[in-house]
Amino acid sequence: MSKQESHPCNGLFQQWQVKRELANYYFTALLRLSPDAHDAPQRRQELNEKVFDALLSWKHVDDQLQSCYQDMARKLHDGEPFRIDVHQHILPPDYVSTLDKLGITSSGGGHSQNGIFKVHLH
């Protein structure tokens, strides 16, 4: 068994990835929805609800994952935070605005301020 597979937070990280992909899928579908479609208003409302639910679910797992990593950091690294992913994401302004409205103002080393995510590299 590899070191990564045996990590206590690995299951939460996999859930986090699935929730992120689901939120991105619905958000992309919402962005690509044609306003000219006969059912556009109904479909937009349906997708808005799915995006909202997916973001809430993602936020819940993100909170659990951050707690797990903090616990592991205290146990394994004398308080030094666990770092996983160091790369840049470009997020559409509407997406960041939706995250701000949901109270999601930080994730994975980045923090939102006035609707703009700023990434802090360590």
Query: pLDDT tens digits for the chain (122 residues)?
Result: 444 456 788 899 999 999 999 999 999 999 999 989 899 999 999 999 999 999 999 999 999 999 988 887 777 666 555 555 555 566 677 877 787 788 776 665 555 555 555 544 44
- Is 77 within a domain? yes
Contacts of 86 (CB under 8 A, 6+ apart): 121
The total domain count for the chain is: 1
Query: Does a structural domain hold residue 32?
Result: yes
Q: With beta carbons less than 8 A apart as the criterion, state whether 112 and 89 touch.
A: no
Position 27 scores a pLDDT of: 92
Q: Would 113 be classed as within a structural domain?
A: no
Distance CA(58)–CA(84), nearest Å, equals 18
* Residue 78 lies in domain: 10-88
Q: Does residue 119 lie in a domain region?
A: no
Any domain includes 110:
no
Cβ burial, residue 62 (10 Å; 0-12/13-18/19+): buried
pLDDT of residue 81: 55
